[in-house]
Amino acid sequence: MEFTKIAVDVFGGDRAPDVVLQGCELALEELPEIELHLCGKAEVVDPFASTHPRCVAHHASEVIEMGEHPASAVRQKKDSSIVVGCRLVKENTCGGFFSAGSTGACLAAATLVIGRVKGVKRPALGIILPSYNSPTLFLDVGANAEVKSSNLLQFGQMGGAYAKAIMGIDQPKVGLLNIGEEDTKGTPLIQEAHLLMSKNLPSFVGNCEPAQLTKGDFDVVVTDGYTGNIALKTIEGSASMIFKYLKDALLSNTKSKIGAALVKPELAKLKDKLNPDVFGGSPLIGVAGVCVIGHGSSNAEAVKNGIKVTAQTIQADLPKVLAKAVSVSSIHHEG
Amino acid sequence: MEFTKIAVDVFGGDRAPDVVLQGCELALEELPEIELHLCGKAEVVDPFASTHPRCVAHHASEVIEMGEHPASAVRQKKDSSIVVGCRLVKENTCGGFFSAGSTGACLAAATLVIGRVKGVKRPALGIILPSYNSPTLFLDVGANAEVKSSNLLQFGQMGGAYAKAIMGIDQPKVGLLNIGEEDTKGTPLIQEAHLLMSKNLPSFVGNCEPAQLTKGDFDVVVTDGYTGNIALKTIEGSASMIFKYLKDALLSNTKSKIGAALVKPELAKLKDKLNPDVFGGSPLIGVAGVCVIGHGSSNAEAVKNGIKVTAQTIQADLPKVLAKAVSVSSIHHEG
């Protein structure tokens, strides 16, 4: 049996390296088919690799911190755990890379070191939203602050292919995030993208209003990385605001306090359901190798889920699926 | 005593005219200083005006429906309740206009019929968000899909003046919505706006991340109308998703059902607190007359609150306050 080989950034995330190694331990227990390639400082990765099965240590003396400028950090810190991990993918030692470190640095390293899938103009960062009716793949949530309409079309092609291959949705419905249903709504760019997607993407079903995004009316929703990042963080911020208000409301008097004690277990489950950690990270879609980025606040369970998603994505051979999806289109746009 | 004269669109909103007239009734009871100028079909406004104090009927034979193209509807339906209401403001019969009808049509009518405050390049649609720490004025949430950095600067000037005059915040903190704290984040336009606001707006305190928007770290947050509308609708959609999940969670077993019954009154209060209706509508900021737009789903209480906000805004003489705020700036940008 051929192992699924995954490079792991042991020094990525707010609670690295301890929490990452705990996550690796959980993943090794649950997934007998994986082999982990641990990237990080020798004094940390060596002892772990020597005491765990299916582990290989790769030394990386540097760490890219959360606040650093992504592209310069990637260029300067060539021996960082993120760059070393991406290099393992580039050299085909590993099929994919998982990191809970700086999203910007992972994006930069993946693009610079691994490169793009043939035909893909711009890779996009996706996230699986815990929308009410069914999960929704939302992209781009931060890789490209500015895009052209042809990029949005490709995001739709790639997103649809991802939903089919990884999420198991046979005929994914693809939408375009916009402020209204009508094709005359939004900026000129969005109107142009609407037209382009209507003509060239059979799975395109129209504009998705923000309320539909969290309702789960679409399987895939595309937007530019600026708007997507704003929307994603607004969802997280709104959830956090509502839970704060909820706590105040439940503790406001004796009767509600008794009720709160009774509903507490269900509320804890709900908080977990809405926690982005549980979904195991954001796939970088369009890079010529699998790359999954976990939330900086990931706990061990989230790291395990991230590694699991990385393994599934390698097994589905996402880069090949994407190459096929973007080659279907015969239209040509520069950019 | 001089009455505060308010034009009311009796045919605006999902439940017009009944709910609007109920709201007028509540407003007349609560606010002895107002005089309402009711715009709508004769058979509806005449009987109400003749049986209520401080009411004047203005006939408007047409109604602009929610789905119509705003600018064309305003041009074609010159005898619609929205156009008639705006004309009353233009002619100085009324100090302001309130409608729970089509936001787009109100924007178009206000701009075309009433016009802009001297010096204001683009009026913006604002909303007061129920953010956790304190309410936040958020603009533009839909008047301008595309803006220049100089427009964002003006939104900041006008927003700060509004917060001081209407919300009673002595030294409002103004922020720029962005995907990160650093001034290198976001699109080139946003980076340019950051620089412009840093230099020319003393109340500017920096970028506001979406999570801070709902936390209430800023008194005023500016963005373009496309992003603002996406963010606003994302907040509403997230709240709706969470309340749906919450309902499922609370009804999932016997113990949680008992708890749910005990916390129900507090949850109902919370839902009200997060309901945009309660805030009484969105001010259109930068028009040469007061214009407040209520939510289409407004109930009678919301209509009353909208009329109340309109009255307060007239009493504070918002257009004059705004004219002063934008004239402070000595910089000149085209657009």
Q: Pairing relation of β-strands B124-129 and B136-139?
A: antiparallel
User: pLDDT tens digits for A124-148?
Assistant: 999 999 888 889 999 999 999 999 9
- Contacts of residue A134 in chain B, CB cutoff 8 Å? none
pLDDT > 90: percent of chain A: 76
- Contacts of residue B262 in chain A, CB cutoff 8 Å? 255-256, 258-259, 262
Spatial distance between the Cα atoms of A98 and A313, rounded to a whole number of angstroms: 11
Per-residue pLDDT at A260: 87
User: Residue A41 is encoded by which pair of tokens?
Assistant: 């400082």
- Contacts of residue A226 in chain B, CB cutoff 8 Å? 179, 186-187, 190, 227
**Is the Cβ pair A234, B213 closer than 8 Å?**
yes
On the question of pLDDT at A219 being above 80, the answer is: yes
User: pLDDT tens digits for A283-300?
Assistant: 999 999 999 999 888 889
Per-residue pLDDT at A335: 40
User: pLDDT tens digits for B91-108?
Assistant: 999 999 999 999 999 999
- CA angle B73/A178/A159 to nearest 5° reads 150
Per-residue pLDDT at B270: 87
- Contacts of residue B214 in chain A, CB cutoff 8 Å? 234, 237-238, 240-241
**Is the Cβ pair A230, B226 closer than 8 Å?**
no
User: Residue A57 is encoded by which pair of tokens?
Assistant: 């240590």
Q: Which residues of chain B have pLDDT under 70?
A: 1, 276-280, 329-335
Per-residue pLDDT at A206: 97
Q: How many CB atoms lie within 10 A of CB B40?
A: 29
CA distance A130 to chain B (A): 9
- Contacts of residue B145 in chain A, CB cutoff 8 Å? 179, 186-187
Q: Pairing relation of β-strands B96-99 and B4-9?
A: parallel
Q: Best interface-test mutation with B: which of A252, A263, A295 has the largest number of B CBs within 10 A?
A: A263
Of A145, A210, A273, the CB nearest to B237: A210
**Is the Cβ pair B256, A241 closer than 8 Å?**
no
Report which of B107, B33, B17 is spatially closest to residue B308, judged by C-alpha positions: B33
**Is the Cβ pair A245, B212 closer than 8 Å?**
no
Of B179, B239, B274, the CB nearest to A229: B179
Name the band, by pLDDT with cuts 50, 70 and 90, for residue A268.
confident
Q: How many CB atoms lie within 10 A of CB B335?
A: 10
Who's near A151: CB < 8 A, 6+ residues apart? A121, A122, A144, A224, A335
User: Residue B66 is encoded by which pair of tokens?
Assistant: 């929610």
Name the band, by pLDDT with cuts 50, 70 and 90, for residue A56.
very high
H helix or E strand, kind and range, residue A151:
helix A149-165
H helix or E strand, kind and range, residue B133:
none
Per-residue pLDDT at A280: 63
**Is the Cβ pair B230, A177 closer than 8 Å?**
yes
Q: How many CB atoms lie within 10 A of CB B37?
A: 23
**Is the Cβ pair B241, A132 closer than 8 Å?**
yes
Entry pTM: 0.91
ipTM of the shown complex: 0.89
CA distance A207 to chain B (A): 12
Residue A10: φ, ψ to 5°: -70, -20
On the question of pLDDT at A277 being above 70, the answer is: no
H helix or E strand, kind and range, residue B293:
strand B290-293
Spatial distance between the Cα atoms of A152 and A123, rounded to a whole number of angstroms: 11
CA distance A126 to chain B (A): 16
Q: Best interface-test mutation with A: which of B224, B233, B271 has the largest number of A CBs within 10 A?
A: B233
Per-residue pLDDT at B173: 98
Q: Quick check: helix, strand or coil at residue B291?
A: strand
Q: Measured in Å, how far apart are chain A's first and last C-alpha atoms?
A: 42
To the nearest whole number, what is the mean pLDDT of chain A? 92
Report which of A104, A139, A143, A103 is spatially closest to residue A122, judged by C-alpha positions: A143
**Is the Cβ pair A179, B226 closer than 8 Å?**
yes
Per-residue pLDDT at A233: 92
Name the band, by pLDDT with cuts 50, 70 and 90, for residue A50.
very high
Position A146, amino acid: E
- Contacts of residue B258 in chain A, CB cutoff 8 Å? 259, 262
Of B132, B258, B266, the CB nearest to A252: B266
The number of angstroms, rounded, from the C-alpha of B116 to the middle of its chain's C-alpha atoms is 16
Q: Quick check: helix, strand or coil at residue A160?
A: helix
Spatial distance between the Cα atoms of A311 and B269, rounded to a whole number of angstroms: 46
Spatial distance between the Cα atoms of A160 and A207, rounded to a whole number of angstroms: 15
Query: Read out DSSP for A98-121?
Result: EE-S-HHHHHHHIIIII-BPTT-S
Of A231, A250, A269, the CB nearest to B263: A250
Of A231, A258, A269, the CB nearest to B234: A231
Q: How many CB atoms lie within 10 A of CB B168?
A: 9
Per-residue pLDDT at A110: 97
**Is the Cβ pair A226, B187 closer than 8 Å?**
yes
CA distance A189 to chain B (A): 10
Q: Under a CB-based contact definition with an 8 Å cutoff, are residues B38 and B55 in contact?
A: yes
User: pLDDT tens digits for A68-93?
Assistant: 888 999 999 999 999 999 999 999 99
Query: Read out DSSP for B136-153?
Result: EEEE-SSS-SS--HHHHH
User: Residue B263 is encoded by which pair of tokens?
Assistant: 């916390």
On the question of pLDDT at A24 being above 70, the answer is: yes
